[in-house]
Amino acid sequence: APTVGVLALQGDVREHLAALDATGARAVPVRRASELDAVDALVLPGGESTTIDKLLRAFELDGPVRERLAAGMPAYGSCAGMILLADRIVGGIDGQRTLGGLDVTVRRNAFGRQVDSFETDLRIDGVPDSERTPVHAVFIRAPWVDEVGPAATALARVESGPAAGRIVAVRQGSLLATSFHPEVTGDTRVHRLFVEIVRDAR
């Protein structure tokens, strides 16, 4: 089984570790460069992207993570993690940087204050059976993807309501990102998709 790290600086680390565990992967927290060296892939959890950005620098992990990403390490970013993986960001706090890798523009806090959090059902390309049994998606002060560059592919869009049509899941090779939090629902299909991507990349 592949060893999948969860960046454990801030955010909902435990939930991702549990979801990865359920897929049969070996799930480990990553707080330092030596731990990063030991993983096949990395999950960037939800949380607060500006805080995670600062902690990445404080723990001197930003360089090593960038290097691994550049070398092709598979990564999955959920919510704040999606922001960290995006090449371009709209609505970031001044000076906020991303790790990059995904050829997309994310809009931070895109759903606006009125709808801080909402839930909806999604069909997601590559998620088995999501046509018949949609993925229940939980959004918490989530970003959406404003623009998908030629290297990336949209996997899911909001299907109804004021945000209908907005892109909320993307993939580019072995990089995966979702605006929502599959780690809080008990449905592990998105994590299974990621672990499959990790297996294929090995």
Decide if 196 is catalytic.
Answer: no
182 part of the interface to ligand GLN, by CB under 6 A: no
Note if 191 is an active site residue. no
Only one of the segments 63-71, 78-86, 124-132, 189-197 lies at the binding site for ligand GLN (rule: CB under 6 A); that segment is: 78-86
Q: Helices (DSSP H) in 31-133: which residue ranges? A: 33-37, 49-58, 62-70, 80-85
Interface with ligand GLN, residue 80, by CB under 6 A: yes
| Identity of the amino acid at 25 | A
Cβ proximity to ligand GLN, 2 vs 145, nearer residue: 145
CB of 3 to ligand GLN, least distance (A): 24
Kindly state the tokens that stand for 100: 């990059």
To which residue do tokens 């979702």 refer? 178
Region 117-176 residues binding ligand GLN, contact defined as CB under 6 A = 140-141
Does residue 16 have an active-site annotation? no
Q: Is 3 exposed, middle or buried (0-12, 13-18, 19+ CB in 10 A)?
A: middle
13 is an interface residue for ligand GLN by CB under 6 A: no
DSSP code of 183?
G
> 47 vs 74, which CB is nearer to ligand GLN?
47
Applying CB under 6 A, does 108 fall inside the site for ligand GLN? yes
Give the H or E element holding residue 92: none
In sequence order, what are the residues at sequence separation of 6 or more whose Cβ sits closer than 8 angstroms to the Cβ of residue 31? 8, 9, 59, 61
Active-site residue (options: 79, 147, 159, 191): 79
Rounded to a whole number of angstroms, the minimum distance from the CB of residue 125 to ligand GLN is 22
The sign of the torsion formed by the CA atoms of 186, 189, 19, 64 equals: negative
H/E element, 28? strand 26-30
Torsion over CA: 85, 90, 91, 92 (sign): positive
Kindly identify the residues of this chain, within the stretch 26-55, that bind ligand GLN according to CB under 6 A: 46-49
C-alpha–C-alpha distance, residues 136 and 21, integer Å: 20
- Stretch near ligand GLN under the rule CB under 6 A, chosen from 23-31, 75-83, 129-137, 183-191: 75-83
CB 180 to ligand GLN: min, Å? 9
- Which residues are near ligand GLN by CB under 6 A? 46-49, 79-80, 83, 108-109, 140-141
Q: Which residues are catalytic?
A: 79, 181, 183
Binding residues for L-glutamine: 47-49, 108, 140-141
